[in-house]
Every structure is written in C-alpha cells, then in structure tokens.
Amino acid sequence: MESKEGRTWIINAFVYFLPVLFLWVIAALWVGSSLPTRYNFLTGLNTSLLADYSPDAFNQSFKSLKLAIFGDVFSDSELPGDSIVGLEMALQGLVPTATLDASSILWTVTPELTPTYEPLDNIETTETPIPSNTPEKNPDNSPTPIQVSTSTATKVVPTATARRDKVLPILECVQDNGDGTITAFFGYKNNNSYQVEIPLGNLNKFTPDPKDRGQPIKFEPGRSPSYPDASFRVVFDGDSITWNLDGESVTASANSDYCDPIMPEDVGDTEDPQLSGGVPNPSPGDLEVCSITITVDDLRVVDPAISSGIAWVKLKYNVEGYTTDYIYSDPLTLCSGGWTEEGGWDGCYSGFIVIKINPDWSPPDASTPFKIKLYAKARDNDGNDTCYHLGQYTMPACCGSCQ
C-alpha cells in the first residue's frame, strides 16, 4: 500500500512539473522577443542545443529530445520570424555571434565548424530581404535581425562619345581634254585621327546623276595627295558636277581652276605610250599621183599608269633614199577617251598629213618608183615616245625630174 502511494506522489509531481516548465519557457521567450536581451537568450539557446551529449539507454542522444521539445515550443508559440531564423541556424549547425551595430543594428553571423543537423520538418524557414537605408522593425519596435548580403553593386559609368569632325571634299583642279570633255581632279581632308567610312548615299554622292563616279568611301586621316596624284578624277561633258560629302560640297565646271602643266620630274612616268589601230585613207599601196593627203582615224594611244599625260600625237613619213629625216604633220586631235581611273591615259586620235615628192629628186631610172613609209608617233609629258608603222605607199618615178 505504501509503495502505491509513493508512486502516486511521483506521478503527481511530474504532472505539476511539466506545466510549470512549459510556462517558464513561454515566459522566457516572450520576454526575449520584446527586449534586446533576446540575442543573449538565443545565443545561449543555440549553443546549448549544439552541445553534444552522450546517448541514453535507448541509444538516443538527449539532444534529440531537446530539439523536438524546443522546436514544438517555438512553432506553437507563434514567435516572431527572427526567433524562428535563430532556431533554424541552430538546427543547421551555425553558432551565431550576436554583434550589435549602432548604425544599422545588424546581427552578423559568423559560422563555426560544428556538426550539421537537418532542420525539423515542421519548421518553415523564410529569407529576410536586405533592408533599405532604414532597418525595418517589428510592430513592438524591436530591431529585426537581417541576412547580410555579400554582393557588391556595380556602378555603371556612361562613356562619353567623342565628336567626329567632318570630312571635307576638295576640288584640286580641272583639265581640258581637247575633245569637249573636262577632267576634274578631286581629293579630301580628314581632320580626325582615324579612318572614317562614309558609304555611297546622301552623304557621299555626285549631282547630277550618276551619284557614283568612282569616289572613295573610306577616308584616311589627313589630306589626300594633291594633283596630279589626286584621290580620284572624273571626266564630264563640261556642265558643272557637284560632289556632296559629309554635309559639304565642291563643284567642278569649265570655269574652275585649271591644272598646272605637269613637269617630267613631278611624275614617275617611265613607260612609253602604246599605239594601235589607225585607218589610213587612201589605204597603203601604189599611187598614181605625186602629192596626196592621207587621213588617219581611230588611232588609239594608251599610256599605262602612272601616266604624265600625252603631249602630242603626230603622223610622219620619209621617202626612202631621198630624205634623211621625217616629215611631220600637225598634232592629231583627241576624239575620245583621256585619263583613266587608275591614272593612265587611253584615247583615240584622228588627223591628216600631206605627202608629196620634191621635183628635184631624180630616180636612177624611170622604172623605179618612190617609196614612202607612213608612221604615227606619240610622246607623253615625261618625254617617252613611240613610233607606229601605218603602211607603205609608192609614187611614180616621173614625179621627180620628169615632172
């Protein structure tokens, strides 16, 4: 009977002790949530929870029992979110060191190397966002621990774009081709320290059409070479043409400044002109007269780049056995062509020459006719020249002393 009464006393004591313990925990948490001392409480609580205890008789650490008890207490008490965060850190193995920052009231968490435990299933964790300049507070005006971000914002500094100077078009000079056409020599000046590209269009065109007359689209720094090594040249019919470039323009016409004569030392033209074609009329052969005018059309003269330009093109002839030098015609006329885009010369000429026999010439006998060889000759401005054989004629022996 006494043994039963003793057991009853123990059971009654245990029944009364548990509610008291529960109320004590609730009161301590309530006080800690409203006073700054809650940091010390949570620090001690986290440290205690992480303490390692030896297994009990059931091979279960007493620590597991504490985790379950206090996890239920925190959840059932509906404590503020920051208390739950403190419990979560304790369950995850972090021993927080509470540091009170007077300026922002931050709780800085310093992790230590401790055993890691998985959080309880009935604990919901939330991430507290980084506050603005003024820390957020709970309704009870107590500071709220925050999660400290280690990211650093990158300040974007706008880059100023340098202003580009205009590319200026230049008309070097013009040259009369002698056939009703004019050649204009153009250049440019780029005051920028870098290459500027201006594609064909409204900022790089000729007027009137065609808009594209061989002008460049890439402009190197500085000024382009002057005449005769200008950037490019345009052959036109004498009416004015205008190059519009980067908002500026220059106009070439028959009234523009003419180019100075090119001196041989100014141009490295070392190649002879090349002659081809040419149609003599009458055609080479035997003639029954002692004087005749020979015309030549479509005589082509080509001077490779870099050409100094053609000084003149003439016809010439000699009479075999009677003349020691050639007899020349007046300069032929340029009918078409002229300067090429590459800086050479390519043109067609026409003209005439009068061939006649001197009556003082006496052939050895009446059966020996006079033999005449006809040539064309071209000379460039650098002194290079070429002869081109057009054909041979004969005239009667009686054109001499027998006339």
Q: What is the pTM of this model?
A: 0.39
Identify the domain containing residue 216 by its residue range: 167-252
**Rounded distance between C-alpha atoms, residue 368 and residue 366, angstroms:** 6
- The residue from 186, 218, 252 where one domain ends is 252
The verdict on 210 and 104 lying in the same domain is no
* Whether residue 173 is found in the same domain as residue 105: no
In-domain check, residue 390: yes
Check whether residue 285 and residue 340 sit in a common domain: yes
Q: Is residue 56 part of a domain?
A: yes
Residue 320 inside a domain? The answer is yes
Q: Are 107 and 37 found together in one domain?
A: yes
Same domain assignment for residues 292 and 394? yes
Q: Which of 98, 146, 233, 181 is nearest to 348 (CA)?
A: 181
Report whether pLDDT(291) > 80: yes
Among 186, 220, 252, the domain-final residue is 252
Same domain, residue pair 3 and 142: yes
Q: What's the pLDDT band for 110 if we cut at 50, 70, 90?
A: very low
In whole angstroms, how far apart are CA 219 and each of 172, 173, 212, 223?
16, 20, 16, 9
Please name the residues in contact with 290: beta carbons below 8 A apart, sequence gap of 6 or more: 356, 357, 395, 396, 399, 403
> How confident is the model over 227-264, as pLDDT tens digits?
888 889 999 988 899 999 999 999 999 899 998 876 54
In a shared domain, residues 275 and 217:
no
Q: Are residues 222 and 316 in the same domain?
A: no
Q: Are 386 and 377 in contact (CB under 8 A)?
A: yes
The answer as to whether 160 is a domain residue is no
Answer whether residue 259 is part of any domain. no
Question: Is residue 154, in this structure, part of any structural domain at all?
Answer: no
Q: What is the pLDDT of residues 296-316, one digit of tens each?
A: 999 999 998 888 889 999 999
Report the candidate in 36, 47, 201 with the shortest Cα–Cα distance to residue 105.
36
Instruction: Tell whether the model's pLDDT for residue 348 goes beyond 50.
Output: yes
In a domain, 290, yes or no: yes
Check residues 180 and 200 and name the one with the higher pLDDT.
200
Nearest to 235 by CA among 183, 270, 172: 183
For residues 10 and 124, state if they share a domain. Answer: yes
Contacts of 223 (CB under 8 A, 6+ apart): 170, 187, 188, 189, 190
Whether residue 144 is found in the same domain as residue 41? yes
How far apart CA 391 and CA 370 sit, in angstroms, is 14
Q: Does residue 208 share a domain with residue 80?
A: no
Residue 155 lies in a domain: no
- Of 216 and 69, the structure prediction assigns the larger pLDDT to 216
What gap in Å lies between CA 45 and CA 57, rounded to an integer? 25
Is there a single domain that holds both residue 279 and residue 315?
A: yes
For range 54-83, the mean pLDDT:
52
Domain count, the chain: 3
Model confidence pLDDT, tens digit, residues 8-65: 766 776 677 777 777 877 877 776 565 544 445 555 555 555 555 555 555 554 444 4
3-state secondary structure the chain: CHHHHHHHHHHHHHHHHHHHHHHHHHHHHHHHHHCCCHHHHHHHHHHHHHCCCCECCCCCEHHHHHHHHHHHHHHHCCCCHHHHHHHHHHHCCCCCCCCCCCCCCCCCCCCCCCCCCCCCCCCCCCCCCCCCCCCCECCCCCECCCCCCCCCCCCCCCCCCCCCCCEEEEEEEEEECCCCCEEEEEEEEECCCCCEECCCECCEEEECCCCCCCCCCEECCEECCCCCCCCEEEEECCCCEEEEECCEEEEECCCCCECCCCCHHHCCCCCCCEEEEEEEECCCEECCCCEEEEEEEEEEEEECCCCCCEEEEEEEEEECCCCCCCEECCCCEEEEEEECCCCCEEEEEEEEEEEECCCCCCCCCCCCCEEEEEEEEEEECCCCEEEEEEEEEEECHHHCCCC
Question: Which CATH number belongs to the domain containing residue 273 in this structure?
Answer: 2.60.40.10
